[in-house]
Structure 1
Amino acid sequence: MSHNIMFQGTGSTVGKSILTAALCRILNDDGVSVAPFKSQNMALNSFVTKDGKEMGRAQVVQAEAARVEPHVAMNPILLKPTSDVGSQVILNGKIHKNMTASEYFSLKKTFKEEIMNAYHQLEETYDVIVIEGAGSPAEINLRENDVVNMGMADMVDAPVILIGDIDKGGVFASIYGTVMLLEPEERKRIKGYIINKFRGDVNILQPGIDMFYEKLQLPCLGVIPYEPLKIDDEDSVTERFDRQEEAAIIIGVIRLPYMSNFTDFTVFELEDDVTVRYIKDEKDFQGIDLLVIPGSKSTIKDMAYLHNSAMKEGIYRAHRRQVPIIGICGGYQMLGDTIEDEKGVETAMSSINGLGLLHMATHMEEIKQTTQVKGRLLTTSPFGADHQHLLVGGYEIHMGKTELLDGCEPFIQLEDGRCDGAISERKDVMGTYLHGIFDNDEWRNLILNDIREKKGLEKRTDVDFAKEKDMEYDKLAKLVREHMDMDAIKEIIYK
């Protein structure tokens, strides 16, 4: 039997995912074989493992922090919202079916065996499993058949650390209220709490911690300072969309209602002279140097959104200004002439016109393509240099097949013999199914250095994405180790 510990929170975005990643890195640094686990994740940011399974991006971050290969057992259930009341259910890395929230809730107990099978796989390999909950354990309407918070803790007999976000305000009330709404047996599992995202002098906070202990005899195991980190977010509840920083180079990303895998753009945050601007209205197009249409979990709905908003005309104006445009996955499909969905894979709408910037047609299919791929670029670059034969890699997550028509050439020759993507005759519009394509240092440098040259900036090639990402995990671990009672945490783990 391996040891375990579980982070639960007073609500969403309090820092469960990032503190799970931090503890994974700290334990690995201390020579412990450790893996993350989250039984059920709801997010549009996902990843494809080496064996072609789909899992939540947060557990990939945590696996990377633990210095282990991401495996779908770390996230056996992934819910990808397709509407306000329904999701595509990914079970053990493959599509199970689309379900409404009520349907999934009624069937949730049937997934317990799958969850435990996944957990036992990790137990056989790792010494410690760091478990992440979801949302709050105090959602009393969801307590029945819970498989992700206290229900999960009970299934694997895990001690629980509760996390509260002081940046939101009311941290003591949220922790106290959460504990009081739990059943007595559930309260016994909580071994302490952590205050996250603290700004200021901790000495001023200490009297509150002391008074709180008189009301609820739980130790404070850490006060973690607020620190912006260049690490992937779990889902669309992120501060990234509202950041207002400006830099010499501005990359505009269309903020689609069903945008998925905005993790494709995390790498740009490591470039000191680059900012990513998530475009919400017409004025946001001003001054952009590159326009990206991102992935989408509901391509046809997002295409309808573009048609019915000022965003479409903003895209066309950027094109007329000769701003290069790149589409990723669903964004690639939107660049074409038409998107057909005769089988109702995504929506009851059988077809919709695309943006018409690439001469191609996409047909939705019921079988999802999930695979990691590598390939070589086939065509000369729109970015001021010949990039033909440049090696790139990434991963595919899509349910459509795209047919290139006259005047449109493929973009990448994949190692498995297929071609991917398309590029226009003018070489100023291109698309690909490859998520993570900007993580390829040589390709990203080619794009950015062409923009730098046009703007009279010095060319650079100093960002090694894999190395910089690992340094962010080290920075996170150092921050948390310094402000969390690691002796107490280890005592809880090895109870």
Structure 2
Amino acid sequence: MARALMVQGTTSNAGKSWMVTALCRLLHQEGWRVAPFKAQNMSLNACVTPEGGEIAYAQALQAEAAGVVPTVDMNPVLLKPQRDTVAELLLRGRAVCQLAARDYQGEWLERAWQAVQDSFATLAQRYECIVIEGAGSPAEVNLRDRDLANMRLATWAGAQVLLVADIDRGGVFAQLVGTLELLLPEERELVRGLVINKFRGELSLLEPGLHFLEARTAKPVLGVLPYEELPALGAEDSLSLGVGGGEGELEVVVVQLPRISNFNDVEPLSLEPDVSLRFARHPRQLGHPDLVIIPGTKNTLEALFWMRQAGWDRALRQALLAGTFILGICGGYQLLGEELVDPGGWEGDSGTYPGLGFLPVTTVFAPGKVTRRRRGRVVARHWLVPEGVEVEGYELHRGLTRAAGEAQPLFLLEGEREGAWSGRVAGTYLHDLLASDGFRRAWLDALRRERGLPPRSFPPRSYRLFRERSLDRMADLLRGHLRLELIYSWLQKG
């Protein structure tokens, strides 16, 4: 049976996902057969596993860090907020229903707990160590009877628990002491050590506080991790969205939609020296970019109404006339079309709605979801990227989109035409498209030519290589700042 090491946090965004990713890479480097696990995740940033299931992006990245193929068992319960009080529930990679938060109890909660147990047992038979990520905080006393992902799981799995806190938020001593005080005595016993994350400053000034923590809690402080941003790893949810980065000649703006999803699609652009990437919530932040990307959203109709109310439709038309290119991905592709048809009320009230009208395509929503990995090549003639350039990624959407009129397909994926383009506007369902180095660079080079810029003077960059280097750097940070001998001893004792 696999050993279980669990990372819990005093708050959301304390660094649980970061720590699990780093531990997976570290243990993988040390020769362990290791797998990540998060019992329940609430996230709109999801991806598709090779078997066609849907899991949170964070667990797919953690699997990459562990050197293993991601599976649905690494994230058996996924909640994707659809509206303010309604979320889509996925069990072991498959959507089963939409339900209100107050209804997520009783039969549904027990079904979810059974999925958690089944998935953990499957991983435990295949791996030597499972690194578990908690959810939110284990001290949410109002949610204790609904707990699937923190102390209930730690107790059932016999996990060694590390408690991590974010010092960048302030109040780190209250976070750690208060969390331990609110745990039940038997839960407190499961916590083996404390970690302080995102520290910037002089460590000697913090040391009196570390002595206080150990004396007050009777738990060892395992280390203090420095604040360091690493490229090519993205963020788990939209609460962590930054403003972008870079100061290149090509300006790219991403529309920050309500319930934005799969925004890591644009992450590869941040590694390109000639790109300046930023997110914009309101049209007045648009400026005069070379490219606007409309990303995915969990609720396309809600995003449509929001864009019209905010004036994005008018701003995009003006930008298009000024020479800006527009790319829609997944929900963004649907929004760019002429019509959105929702006969079953999957996105809100049933009916037919006019889209933004930038592409001659129509989307019809349906109960089933498309979840599949795809590979292929560019087939669009007279478009920016030459025919034959290879692409790969995954589809993750509800609804089918049909092109008409002058719209031409973008890609040929396993013999099937996909996407559409017309003039300066293009749309596709292919997530992770920009991680294809050849496509990304060919597209940016074409935009340079459109702008009259000279050819780039730097070699092409490998997005995957940047990710690998960042993952290795995470493991190095643990080696340099954590008392790993204690963690190794707990794992050996099992």
TM-score by length of 2: 0.96
CA distance in 1, matches of 2:281, 2:411: 30
The amino acid across from 2:437 in the alignment is D
CA offset at residue 287 of structure 1? 3.1
The amino acid across from 2:405 in the alignment is D
Query: What SS does the aligned partner of 1:82 have?
Result: strand
- Is residue 441 from structure 1 mapped to residue 429 from structure 2 by the alignment? no
Asked if structure 2 preserves the Cα contact closer than 8 Å seen for 1:58 and 1:232, the reply is: no
CA distance in 2, matches of 1:308, 1:149: 41
Provide, for residues 73-122 of structure 1, a one-character-per-residue CA deviation record: whole Å limited to 9, x for no partner.
Answer: 00001111001211101111111100111111343133222111100111
- Is residue 419 from structure 1 mapped to residue 420 from structure 2 by the alignment? no
CA distance in 1, matches of 2:170, 2:382: 50
CA distance in 1, matches of 2:204, 2:464: 38
**What pairs up with 1:111-150 in 2 under 5 angstroms?**
111-150=112-151
- Is residue 303 from structure 1 mapped to residue 304 from structure 2 by the alignment? yes
Query: What SS does the aligned partner of 1:88 have?
Result: strand
Number of the residue aligned with 2:103: 103
Number of the residue aligned with 1:363: 364
CA distance in 2, matches of 1:200, 1:355: 49
CA distance in 1, matches of 2:307, 2:257: 8
Provide, for residues 242-299 of structure 1, a one-character-per-residue CA deviation record: whole Å limited to 9, x for no partner.
Answer: 3565432221111000111001011112213323211111232113111111011111
CA distance in 1, matches of 2:152, 2:110: 10
Number of the residue aligned with 1:261: 262
Number of the residue aligned with 1:236: 238
Asked if structure 1 preserves the Cα contact closer than 8 Å seen for 2:246 and 2:270, the reply is: no
The amino acid across from 2:443 in the alignment is I
Number of the residue aligned with 1:179: 180
Number of the residue aligned with 2:453: 456
Runs (5+) with no aligned partner, structure 1: none
Query: What SS does the aligned partner of 2:380 have?
Result: coil
CA offset at residue 369 of structure 1? 0.4
CA distance in 2, matches of 1:33, 1:39: 19
Residue identity over aligned pairs, in percent, reads 38
CA offset at residue 451 of structure 1? 2.7
CA offset at residue 457 of structure 1? 4.5
Number of the residue aligned with 2:398: 399
The amino acid across from 2:426 in the alignment is M
Query: What SS does the aligned partner of 1:399 have?
Result: strand
Provide, for residues 182-214 of structure 1, a one-character-per-residue CA deviation record: whole Å limited to 9, x for no partner.
Answer: 100000000111000000111110111112222
**What pairs up with 1:335-374 in 2 under 5 angstroms?**
335-374=336-375
CA distance in 2, matches of 1:296, 1:208: 43
Query: What SS does the aligned partner of 1:494 have?
Result: helix
Provide, for residues 142-189 of structure 1, a one-character-per-residue CA deviation record: whole Å limited to 9, x for no partner.
Answer: 101311010110111111110000000000101111110110000000
- Is residue 489 from structure 1 mapped to residue 487 from structure 2 by the alignment? yes
Asked if structure 2 preserves the Cα contact closer than 8 Å seen for 1:11 and 1:135, the reply is: yes
CA distance in 2, matches of 1:270, 1:369: 30
CA distance in 2, matches of 1:160, 1:52: 32
CA distance in 1, matches of 2:325, 2:349: 33
**What pairs up with 1:138-177 in 2 under 5 angstroms?**
138-177=139-178
Query: What SS does the aligned partner of 1:41 have?
Result: strand
Number of the residue aligned with 1:75: 75
Are the structure 2 counterparts of residues 237 and 457 from structure 1 closer, same or farther at C-alpha, using a change threshold of 3 Å?
A: farther
Q: State the 4+ residue runs in structure 1 displaced beyond 4 angstroms.
A: none
CA distance in 2, matches of 1:108, 1:494: 33
CA distance in 2, matches of 1:324, 1:274: 14
Asked if structure 2 preserves the Cα contact closer than 8 Å seen for 1:109 and 1:147, the reply is: no
CA distance in 1, matches of 2:45, 2:468: 20
CA offset at residue 411 of structure 1? 1.4
Are the structure 2 counterparts of residues 248 and 361 from structure 1 closer, same or farther at C-alpha, using a change threshold of 3 Å?
A: same
CA offset at residue 461 of structure 1? 4.1
CA offset at residue 477 of structure 1? 1.2
Asked if structure 2 preserves the Cα contact closer than 8 Å seen for 1:109 and 1:145, the reply is: no
Q: Which moved more, 1:299-308 or 1:453-462?
A: 453-462
CA offset at residue 382 of structure 1? 3.5
CA distance in 1, matches of 2:112, 2:183: 23
Number of the residue aligned with 2:407: 408
CA offset at residue 458 of structure 1? 4.1
The amino acid across from 2:88 in the alignment is Q
TM-score by length of 1: 0.96
What's the C-alpha RMSD, in Å, of the aligned pairs?
Answer: 1.4
The amino acid across from 1:474 in the alignment is D
CA distance in 2, matches of 1:177, 1:446: 53
CA distance in 1, matches of 2:269, 2:132: 30
Q: Which moved more, 1:312-321 or 1:322-331?
A: 312-321
**What pairs up with 1:323-334 in 2 under 5 angstroms?**
323-334=324-335
Runs (5+) with no aligned partner, structure 2: none
CA distance in 1, matches of 2:452, 2:475: 38
CA offset at residue 395 of structure 1? 0.2
**What pairs up with 1:5-16 in 2 under 5 angstroms?**
5-16=5-16
CA offset at residue 321 of structure 1? 1.1
The amino acid across from 1:36 in the alignment is P
Number of the residue aligned with 1:247: 248
The amino acid across from 1:421 in the alignment is G
CA distance in 2, matches of 1:305, 1:216: 48
Number of the residue aligned with 1:198: 199
Asked if structure 2 preserves the Cα contact closer than 8 Å seen for 1:277 and 1:284, the reply is: no
CA distance in 2, matches of 1:112, 1:160: 20
Query: What SS does the aligned partner of 1:393 have?
Result: strand
